[in-house]
């Protein structure tokens, strides 16, 4: 996959939509000094090229009752490393796992996991995660305070 070409106006459009994905093409255009039609065409092109990949909302996990955030470092067995695609697909099925990254280093995967409380994470760990035969070890890091969280890229 090659990197897409975009100019200063495209960057301004992407910044505006990162701040508020609900903005209409007219509102984005007004914000950046472009009329609605060319702004809409640029947004469509950015979508067609895959630079804009959907529209999401950010929810407050704590207000929704998910008080525990865990970063788990997972190391696979030698046999498990030969089954990475299958293991990754299994992790995709766990709704508690919000992010899953295959990484280089002392472990193989980094997981971002949410739970309502420590007991719920404990159940997830012992009833789901530790039952996966490919896992050699898991190091769980419980988040005390979230200092910064963003999905915005520094465009």
Same domain, 42 and 94: no
Q: Do 77 and 25 reside in the same domain of the chain?
A: no
For residue 38, the enclosing domain spans: 8-48
Residue 147 covered by a domain: no
Predicted local distance difference test score (pLDDT) of residue 1? 46
Which spans in the chain are helix H?
8-19, 25-32, 36-48, 78-81, 84-92, 118-127
Pick out the chain residues at pLDDT < 50: 1
Separation of alpha carbons 61 and 108, rounded Å = 27
Q: Using alpha carbons only, how large is the chain's radius of gyration in Å?
A: 20
pLDDT at 79: 86
Q: Residues 97, 43: one domain? A: no
Q: Which helix (H) or strand (E) holds 110?
A: strand 109-115
Query: Collapsing DSSP states into helix, strand and coil, what is residue 74?
Result: strand
Instruction: Provide the whole-model pTM.
Output: 0.86
Same domain (yes/no): 44, 72 = no
Q: pLDDT tens across 44-66, in order? A: 999 999 999 988 888 999 999 99
What are the backbone dihedrals phi and psi of residue 92, each rounded to the nearest 5 degrees, phi first? -60, -25
């Amino acid at each position: 996959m090659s990197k897409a070409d975009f100019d200063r106006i495209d960057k301004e459009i992407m910044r505006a939509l990162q701040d508020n994905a609900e903005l209409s093409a007219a509102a984005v255009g007004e914000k950046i000094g472009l009329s609605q039609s060319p702004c809409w065409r640029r947004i469509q092109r950015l979508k067609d090229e895959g630079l804009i990949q959907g529209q999401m909302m950010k929810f407050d996990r704590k207000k929704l009752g998910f008080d525990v955030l865990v970063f788990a470092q997972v190391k696979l067995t030698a046999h498990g490393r030969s089954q990475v695609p299958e293991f990754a697909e299994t992790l995709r099925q766990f709704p508690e796992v919000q992010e899953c990254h295959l990484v280089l280093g002392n472990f193989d995967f980094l997981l971002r996991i949410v739970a309502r409380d420590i007991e719920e994470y404990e159940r997830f760990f012992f009833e789901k995660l530790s039952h996966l035969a490919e896992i050699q070890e898991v190091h769980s890091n419980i988040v005390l305070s979230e200092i910064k969280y963003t999905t915005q890229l520094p465009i």
